[in-house]
Amino acid sequence: MQFIDLKAQYRALKTEINANIQSVLDSAQFIGGVYVKELEAQLAAFTGRKHCITCANGTDALQLAFMAAGVGEGDAVFCPDMTFISSTEPAKMFGAASVFCEILPDTYCLDPRSLERQIQAVLAEGRLTPKAVVAVDILGNPCDYDAIAPICGKYGLTLIEDAAQSFGAVYKGKRACAFGHIATTSFFPAKPLGCYGDGGAVFTDDDDLDKLFRSLCVHGKGPGGKYDNIRVGMNSRLDNLQAAVLLPKLKALRDYELDARQTAAGRYSAAFAGKLVTPFVAEGCVSAWAQYALLAKDTAQRDKIVAHLTEKGVPNMIYYPKPQHTLPVFRDDPSYGEVFLNANDYCARTFSLPMHPYLTEAEQAEVIQAVLEGANL
Ligand SMILES: *Cc1c(COP(=O)(O)O)cnc(C)c1O
């Protein structure tokens, strides 16, 4: 059994993926090309965004977003405590501070009230300038954008949706990547929409930002092309081979993979209801189920379950073992010494089970049995 079964997906899509890869090889068009163009158009249409600009990976997508937001020395970037390092790492490279916020106890996403408190604390201290908010759709579950967007508006902050884990998710009728001034995603192989290497994208409805991103991705190119450099940029592009792989995968995600993820998550939740804390998806939302995470009653029970799963050959992971604000890299940032009870509690009890669209009922039965045995339930 695989934690995320990329081989099963390849078997299902082999004919289309192989044909696309072969056609890239025949065309020898590796950087840019027809598949990149077609993919950007389809990603924009699927997410309901005016513009999609692909790039080299999800971390670069966030870096591009911070560059567009003008994040620099002395700025504060706000972010939930439960995420992967990429959410604010690129902002720190520009000399900004990461200010972490508490997570909600049910969705594990950014707590809007904690966000506002942290913004006010930074303003009261007067040392840093609040600049941007990174709202992370953690585990595939979308944030409460109706609560977060007005706070960003009130304080004049750029809202960035980090949708690396939530591609395909829905919040009140709109797809993930449709929120904030800028949204970013990742096509790392294990993400809900993954390529066969690294890849990422930024999304926006703003025509000027679209032009800026296309310049930033190619060494700050100007109207005269890539030798007419008008700003400092990056070399961050998705290659044609990756786009060729992503197109059939996007079709599969749309046609049946998202549904298959819902079915698998539903089976787990039915089996664990009342026994362990099952994932909560808010009314009007659909998770992309990047991960299926349960909470045990305490760390001791979690560790027993995880040990039993490993002994039985059932793959498992902990996303994530530590809250961001406690990581040594953030030792000089304002939230380093703070305590976020929900984030602490989540880290102490969480564990994730195999989750992907090709998971069979028999495999799930095996996982469920091993979890319940490990938990002594
Ligand atoms: C994976 C991930 C990223 C970074 O994506 P890469 O393509 O690996 O650079 C950013 N944010 C979150 C929340 C992620 O899970």
Cβ pair 242, 199 in contact under 8 A: yes
Rg (CA), the chain: 21
For ligand 1, is residue 78 a contact (CB within 6 Å)? no
* Strand partners for 228: none
Which string of DSSP letters, residue by residue, matches 299-314?
HHHHHHHHHHHHHTT-
Q: How far is the CA of 88 from the centre of ligand 1 (A)?
A: 11
For ligand 1, is residue 163 a contact (CB within 6 Å)? no
Q: What is the pLDDT of residue 330?
A: 97
Pocket test for ligand 1, best of 84, 108, 177, 184 (most atoms within 8 A of CB): 84
Token pair recorded at residue 290: 């990047």
- Report the nearest-CA residue for atom 7 of ligand 1: 58
Q: What is the pLDDT of residue 275?
A: 96
Q: Which residues of 256-269 are buried (b: 16+ CB within 10 A; e: fewer)?
A: ebbebbbebbebbb
Q: What is the pLDDT of residue 144?
A: 98
Residue pLDDT, tens place only, 110-121:
999 999 999 999
Which atom of ligand 1 lies closest to the CA of 188? 7
Q: What is the pLDDT of residue 376?
A: 86
How far, rounded to the nearest angstrom, does the alpha carbon of residue 364 sit from its chain's CA centroid?
25
Q: What is the pLDDT of residue 377?
A: 79
Cβ pair 310, 3 in contact under 8 A: no
Q: What is the pLDDT of residue 226?
A: 87
Q: How far is the CA of 289 from the centre of ligand 1 (A)?
A: 15
DSSP alpha helices (H): ranges in the chain? 6-27, 34-47, 58-68, 89-93, 112-125, 145-155, 207-216, 240-252, 258-272, 299-311, 341-349, 361-374
Cβ-based neighbour number of residue 145 at 10 Å: 22
Which atom of ligand 1 lies closest to the CA of 61? 9
Q: Return per-residue pLDDT of the chain as tens, 377 residues.
A: 999 999 999 999 999 999 999 999 999 999 999 999 999 999 999 999 999 999 999 999 999 999 999 999 999 999 999 999 999 999 999 999 999 999 999 999 999 999 999 999 999 999 999 999 999 999 999 999 999 999 999 999 999 999 999 999 999 999 999 999 999 999 999 999 999 999 999 999 999 999 999 999 999 999 999 899 999 999 999 999 999 999 999 999 999 999 999 999 999 999 999 999 999 999 999 999 999 999 999 999 999 999 999 999 999 999 999 999 999 999 999 999 999 999 999 999 999 999 999 999 999 999 999 999 999 87
